[in-house]
Amino acid sequence: MSQYVSRLRRSGASSPRLRFPGAHRRPRRVAMLSVHTSPLHQPGTGDAGGMNVYIVELAKRLAAINIEVEIFTRATTGALPPSVELAPGVLVRHVDAGPYEGLAKEELPAQLCAFTHGVMQAWAGHRPGYYDLVHSHYWLSGHVGWLAAERWGVPLVHAMHTMAKVKNAALAAGDTPEPAARVIGETQVVRAADRLIANTAEEADELVRHYEADAAKVAVVHPGVNLDRFRPADGRAAARHRLGLPQDALIPLFAGRIQPLKAPDILLRAVAVLLDERPELRARMVVPVVGGPSGSGLAKPEGLQKLAAKLGVADVVRFRPPVGQDQLADWFRAASVLVMPSYSESFGLVAIEAQAAGTPVIAAAVGGLPVAVRDETTGFLVPSHDPAAYARRLGEFADRPQLVDSMGAAAAAHAQGFGWDTAASATADVYTAATYEHRHPRHVPSLHG
């Protein structure tokens, strides 16, 4: 068993197909749980981010291979209909649990009972066996999924996305540690799940090391990228024209939620270091920050603007609110380089999206970013959070502008290996294995190429 899992979990999204004794089948219908953030929310706002994109794209691709998906999420306004068709074969169900607005993520554990009740009500309206499997995202959903899977007699597949112990080990200065209740909750979900999906082999190892996960339960599936949306398209010059950006500028971009964990302040500090050393660059530098305050960043939503003024770089920094995916792709195309100085990233989906659009990346060498970015080929990995180290890399793009095109071309080619179709197929294999072993716990599937 352990040999089989070792081969599966380290093979990533290109896992060999599974062969099972006798007939086997994929689940027909999956209940997907996303308690704290809706797949309909705009990424880059509130708690919406890469996980929202992950759920939407994965659900659509699963539906395309005949696995229907119903996504349960908490209703955040009374104006929402009980259900919304996101795409053919993908239904979003809004569950009433707590007040619609003003409820922080930290307050959601108290609403899990109400949320579970809503999920059970939906299930009660169907025939027995309506859902074949539960796939939960983030630990809050995992607790609902644990109860639902036991009640329905189906397997539970869980994706952590982020882990409290990993985040707490790499906190930004002044950031708030994740509470002990979350650590306990995550440990319980890890123990309850039939399968755990990790974004990278490193995340799989963290599950085993920090949470004593059974290695036999862990499978690695790299997230994907929408290659139809995120692509070089008509090029950098056209994107800059559409966004009103100067054609000859050095444009390091930050795109994402503005919170200490994502470390947009490091980009601003790096720009300040670079301009202090080379003031002649100021005339041709534009630094867009695209995104809204989130998480612990909500405590001081104006903090980054004040920092830009304090550092003397407010004249080159342009703050922009979160944008839709199509316009985000244009920001990626327009940028010289995406900068991701995060303290923790389970994968770093934004890095793949930018590369798919033909833009290199400067990223912290943390979490899944060394998988997403090929150091010295599609961008640079920085082994610290020292602004001066980021300034040196930005200086290389200033001195060698051809790097934007050469690394950008390599980045676009690299991203082609991260399509959502591949991720959905590998996820379906995990579902099939979980379903088979749930029904036949004494049998072990075999691998073939």
Cβ density class 274-299: b for 16+ within 10 Å, e for less: bbeeeeebeeebbbbbbbbbbbbbee
Q: In this structure, what token pair is assigned to residue 156?
A: 């539970």
> Is 51 annotated for ligand binding?
yes
Helix (H, G, I), strand (E, B) or coil at 337: strand
Other CB atoms within a 10 A radius of the CB of residue 73 amount to 26
> Is 42 annotated for ligand binding?
yes
> Is 162 annotated for ligand binding?
yes
The neighbouring-strand residues paired with 84 are 92
> Is 73 annotated for ligand binding?
no
> Is 416 annotated for ligand binding?
no
Residue 279 DSSP class: G
> Is 335 annotated for ligand binding?
yes
> Is 333 annotated for ligand binding?
yes
> Is 182 annotated for ligand binding?
yes
> Is 186 annotated for ligand binding?
no
> Is 327 annotated for ligand binding?
no
CB 221 within 8 A of CB 368: no
> Is 262 annotated for ligand binding?
yes
Q: How far apart are CA 271 and CA 268, in angstroms?
A: 5
Q: How far apart are CA 9 and CA 260, in angstroms?
A: 31
Q: In this structure, what token pair is assigned to residue 30?
A: 């999956």
Residue whose pair of structure tokens reads 């199509």 in the numeric block? 326
> Is 257 annotated for ligand binding?
yes
CB 286 within 8 A of CB 409: no
Binding positions for UDP-N-acetyl-alpha-D-glucosamine: 42-43, 50, 257, 262, 323, 345, 353
Binding positions for Mg(2+): 332-333, 335, 359
Binding positions: 36, 42-43, 47-52, 105, 138, 162, 182, 257, 262, 323, 332-333, 335, 345, 353, 359
Binding positions for 1D-myo-inositol 3-phosphate: 36, 47-52, 105, 138, 162, 182
